[in-house]
Amino acid sequence: MDKLCIGNNTYIDSSCKLSGNIVIGNNCIIGPFNVLKNVTIGDNNDITSSYIEDSKIESNCDIGPFSHIRNNSLIMSNCRIGNYVEIKNSILHSGVKCAHLSYIGDCEIGEKTNIGCGVITANYDGKKKHHTKIGSSCFIGCNSVLIAPLEIKDNSFIAAGTVVTSSLEKNSFAISRTKLEIKERK
């Protein structure tokens, strides 16, 4: 039998769909058009127009709008998961920011790491899934692609538009760009 448990001072807006086992903590705002299935949500969370399934969100997080969190993901406290971010089978430690337009699959991200717009963890090689591990206090620039399996160690900086194909040591700076060629149109 499914279970629904909602804490004190939690508000659930209209047009939400809740199914399976749901636990929502105290002082949460579950905004309109959320779909929640088999989730545990801690205290003081704000979740807007998102799809969350088979996952756990700890406390003090800001999720959405239009986030998709699924398949055994754990979002620890004080995280920001924003517009059109998909997270699958991943752990995001406290203070991670992933504000918009990114895919985080089969990944672990350390505390206080910033994931820029359009970052992709390329986790599938056509036959099997691979894992990406990102350390604490890293900066992953916009439109970067991290091709798993790999590990990005603490305090690393990846410049926007970089394709990372091998692991990075602590305090690394990674940049990969081809030279821009501008040719006259005829």
- Residue 179 in any domain: the answer is no
- Residue 185 in any domain: the answer is no
pLDDT score, position 25: 98
- Residue 139 in any domain: the answer is yes
- Residue 183 in any domain: the answer is no
Domain of residue 170, CATH code: 2.160.10.10
- Residue 184 in any domain: the answer is no
* Residue 163: band (very low, low, confident or very high) from pLDDT cuts 50, 70, 90: very high
- Residue 180 in any domain: the answer is no
The predicted-structure confidence for 70-107, as pLDDT tens digits, reads as follows 999 999 999 999 999 999 999 999 999 999 999 999 99
Given a cut of 90, is residue 31 above it in pLDDT? yes
pLDDT score, position 103: 98
Domain span at residue 134 reads: 4-174
* Residues 133, 156 contacting (CB under 8 angstroms): no
Candidates 174, 60, 155, 55; CA nearest to 104 is 55
Span 127-135, mean pLDDT? 97
Domain count, the chain: 1
Burial of 134 (0-12, 13-18, 19+ CB in 10 A): buried
CB atoms near residue 122 (< 10 Å): 17
Share of the chain above pLDDT 70, in %: 100
- Residue 181 in any domain: the answer is no
Given a cut of 80, is residue 1 above it in pLDDT? no
Catalytic pick among 93, 100, 130, 131: 100
| Residue 85, phi then psi, degrees to nearest 5 | -100, 130
Look up 93 and say whether it is catalytic: no
Given a cut of 90, is residue 186 above it in pLDDT? no
Q: pTM for this one? A: 0.94
pLDDT score, position 60: 98
